Amino acid sequence: MEGNYEKLVEFISESSGVDVGEIEKKIEAKQAKLSGLISKEGAAQVIAAELNVNFEKQMLKVAQLVPGMNKINLIGKVVGLAPVREYNKNGRSGRIGSFVLADETSNIRTVLWDENHIDLISKNEITNEISVEINNASIRNGELHLGSFSEIKISDKKIENVVLEKPVISKDIASFNVNENVSARAHIVQIFEPRFFNVCKECRKKVNEANECNEHGNVVPEKRFLLSLVVDDGSGSIRSTIFSEVLEKIMKREEVENGELFAVKKNELLGKEVVVSGNVRKNQMFDSNDFIITDFRDIDVDKLIEELEG
């Protein structure tokens, strides 16, 4: 499926009058000049500036947003309003508001840091299903962030047929961005030992060593497991995690729990080429990206041939 980068290139083309192919050549040349130290998305923004395409004066769509963008303006519908919560981190405290903003192209988690903006949620002026206009926002870790210099106001624009599910984009691992739903063809190059943990049967959240759930107290837990592995598609590699529900599609429970059976299955999977889909998360502890796999399947040779012929 077409991703944000492609839609950004189309936007630059429409705004500048320069052919899409020519813009892509300029982007490749810019990356080559900078010895690969800049992403395609970053190079596209540099080319946009050189072509006098100013995002500050444009109203963008969610699908056109890419990492590193600033001074973003857009209109969308609030579809997933979260309660205002307080935080206390690194000696700083305050409140934070958030919601999912959607339009007819995609959706994005939106974070409010300014108290005046957060008050709009507290006072029920911003609610689910209303349209809002946002100005001077920025992209951080795959999210739309509004600071004290940003603006948000209720909009009269009616937005129909919003996208509630993030589209899955096929792309190289080296191009993965945080909070993207992506898919890649890759080889399994490393598999770690499985990890086991207990969850509450009611809310599916992890319980402590005393089998206590924060919401439901003492519970009879359900045993779950996860498997960490590394996948590589030639452009790069990424540490990935598969949880029980997906893992059971490719590995029987007894193969996970029995060391000898697991060793046999591990050798069978190592080096195998598969199609993996999932969501990219930021690992704050190691300052790296993690890939949470939500679908794992074998290569469909017939479909691959059709795509290559197409």
pLDDT of 275 strictly over 80: yes
Residue closest to 81 by CA, chosen among 112, 116, 115: 112
> pLDDT tens digit string along 192-247?
999 998 888 888 788 888 888 888 888 888 888 899 999 999 999 999 999 988 88
The answer to whether 106 and 42 are in contact (CB under 8 A) is: no
CB burial readout 62-98, b (16+ within 10 A) else e? bbbbbbebeebbbbbbbbebeeeeeeeeeeeeebebb
CATH architecture of the domain 169-309 equals Beta Barrel (2.40)
Instruction: Give the whole-angstrom CA distance, residue 156 versus residue 285.
Output: 42
Instruction: Give the whole-angstrom CA distance, residue 295 versus residue 297.
Output: 7
The answer to whether 291 and 244 are in contact (CB under 8 A) is: no
CATH superfamily entry for domain 55-164 = Nucleic acid-binding proteins (2.40.50.140)
Residue 109: pLDDT band (50, 70, 90) is very high
Strands 237-243 and 288-298: parallel
Residue ranges, comma separated, of all CATH 2.40.50.140 domains in the chain are: 55-164, 169-309
Q: What is the pTM of this model?
A: 0.69
Residue 298: pLDDT band (50, 70, 90) is confident
